[in-house]
Copies of this chain bind each other. A is one copy, B any other.
Amino acid sequence: MGKQFLEITEKKEVDAIIACVAAEVEEARAKTDASVEKVKVAEALGRIVSADVFSALNVPPFDRATMDGYAVVASDTFYADENNPASLIITGSISAGESPSQYVDKGYCMGISTGAPLPKGANATVKVENTSEYADGAAGKKTKKVKVYKPVAPGENIMLAGSDINRGARIVRRGTTLTPRETGVLAACGLNEVAVYKKPTVAIISSGNEMIAPGEDLEPAKIYDVNSQALSDSVRECGCSPYFLGIARDNTEDISERLNESLEKGVDVIIVSGGTSAGVGDLLPKVIEELGEILVHGVDIKPGKPFIFGTLQGTPFFGLPGNPTSALVTFNLFVAPLLRTISGIPVQNHEKGVRRKEKRIKAKAAQRIFSERGRNEYVLVNLVSAKKPEEVSIIAYPILTGSGAITTLAKADGYIFMEKGKEIIEEGEEVDVELLTNLFASKKLYQNYDTLRSG
C-alpha cells in the first residue's frame, strides 16, 4: 500500500512534504478540543495560548490615586501658588483597599493613599509634597484643613477606571508563548486559568540488538542507547512531551508492536532511531509500509541520508539514523519544524511553505573546510568566541571526529550547511551556523552571544 520513494529525495522537497503533513495535522488538531486544555496560570509559563483572551473587567477597576495626597475637585486648586494657597476642608481619608463612602464637594477634600479609589466628586489628586495640613477655627471647634500650593488639572495623579485595560479588550493573542509579562497581565485581569494547546506527545523508539538502557550493566558486545535520551530532551526543547517506548530489537514483531502501542496511545508523532544492524535498513520501511505510507526514504544530505518520513494512520512518522549525531542533525532539520507547527505556534516566517525557525548565528571558519562532492553536507562545528583588539567574533571549528563519535555530539554547538556545489569554505570565511540547542540553554553560547552583541 501507499506510494514509496525509494530514490533519494532533495532536501527542499522533503521540507515541503513535511510542511504539508504538519499543516494537515495542525488543522486536524485545531478542529478538535482534544488538543486544548485549561491550566492554572501559575503553571502556564512557556505554554502556548490556544484562544484569544479578553479581559472581563476594567483595569484599574476604579479611578485610582497614583500619588499619596488629597483627592480634590481640580478647579478648587486653579491659580493656587506658594503665596496664595487654596484652602480645603478635610472630611476624612481613604487608604488603599478601602471604599470611600463620602462625596467630595467643592471646597472639600479627602486624604488619599496611592492605589486608593478616588471618592465621588473628586477628579484629581494633589501630591502631599505640595500641601500642608493645619487646624482652623476656635479651640474646641477646630476644623482640619489643608493648604494646596500648586494647582492640579482634572485627571492629574489619577488613573481612570479601564484606562489601562478596558473591559472586553484582548489581552493575550492566540498562539502567544506565555512569559512572565503575559502571566502578569492575566493575573491583573483576575484570571487564574488559561486555555493552552496540549503539548503534543512524541513516541520515541530506539532500535538495535546491541542497545541497552543506561543504568543497566554493560554486557559484552552491547552499547548504551544514546538516542532515547538525546531525542527525548530535544522533543522537550520543542515544547512537546516525549513518550519513551523502550529499545526495540531488530525484528518486525518488536518494532510493529511498539508502533501499534504508539498508535493506540494516540501519540501525535512517532520517532524511531536506528538500528545499525545488517538488514535493518530494509526492516523499518517494510513495517511502515504495512501500517501506513512512506513519503520519503533517503534524502540528499550528509549526515542523515537514510532518513525516512511517512504517516501511520495519519500520524507523522520519522525514521532517523541510529548514529546519535546524525539523529540529532536530522531531528533539527526535519522533526523540530513539524513539532513547532503542531504545537500551535502560529505560522509567521513562511518560505515556500517551509517554516524557517532555525536558531542561526554568524561565525568565521577557523580553517579550510571541505565537503564531499555532490552532497548537501552539514558540517558540525564547535564555536569559540575570539576577542582581538577592536574586534569580537565567533570562530567556528569543524569537528573532525566523524559523525559516529559521541564526542562529536558533545563538542558540536551547531552546523554549517554546505550546499551541493559548495566544496570549500576558506579559512576566515563568514558562515551561518545553525545552533543545535537553545541558544540560552547552552551556557557557552550564551556567553559567546553576550560577547558578540555587547562587544
Contact = CB atoms under 8 A, between A and B. Distances in A.
A222 B190 CA distance: 11
A393 interface: no
Copies of this subunit: 2
Contacts of A442: 177, 179
A135 interface: no
A32 interface: no
A361 interface: yes
A277 B115 contact: yes
A447 B113 CA distance: 43
Contacts of A404: 66, 159, 164
A175 B444 CA distance: 10
Contact of A214 (B62, B180, B192, B209): B192
A180 B437 contact: yes
A328 B180 contact: yes
Q: Which of A189, A192, A277, A349 is most buried by chain B, counting CB atoms within 10 A of its CB?
A: A277
A231 to B, nearest CB: 8
Interface stretch (A78-86, A233-241, A292-300, A308-316): A233-241
B220 A191 contact: no
A102 to B, nearest CB: 14
A44 B314 CA distance: 32
B233 A180 contact: yes
Contact of A41 (B180, B184, B209, B214): B214
Contact of A230 (B68, B181, B360, B447): B181
Interface residues of A, number: 114
Interface stretch (A20-28, A90-98, A142-150): A90-98
Nearest to A324: B184
A88 interface: no
A229 B360 contact: no
A181 B410 contact: yes
A356 B210 contact: no
Nearest to A220: B99
Contacts of A61: 218, 222-223
Contacts of A443: 175-177, 345
Nearest to A69: B278
Nearest to A66: B404
Contacts of A432: 454
Interface string A47-85: 000000000010111101010100000000000000000
A324 B181 CA distance: 9
Interface string A170-193: 010001111111111111111111
A153 interface: no
Contact of A184 (B46, B57, B192, B226): B226
- CB-based closest 6 A-B pairs: A184-B230, A192-B215, A97-B209, A97-B210, A180-B233, A113-B278
21 contacts: A42-B229, A59-B223, A97-B211, A98-B209, A99-B221, A114-B276, A115-B277, A117-B221, A164-B406, A165-B407, A179-B436, A179-B437, A181-B230, A184-B230, A184-B324, A186-B214, A190-B216, A191-B215, A345-B443, A349-B447, A359-B450
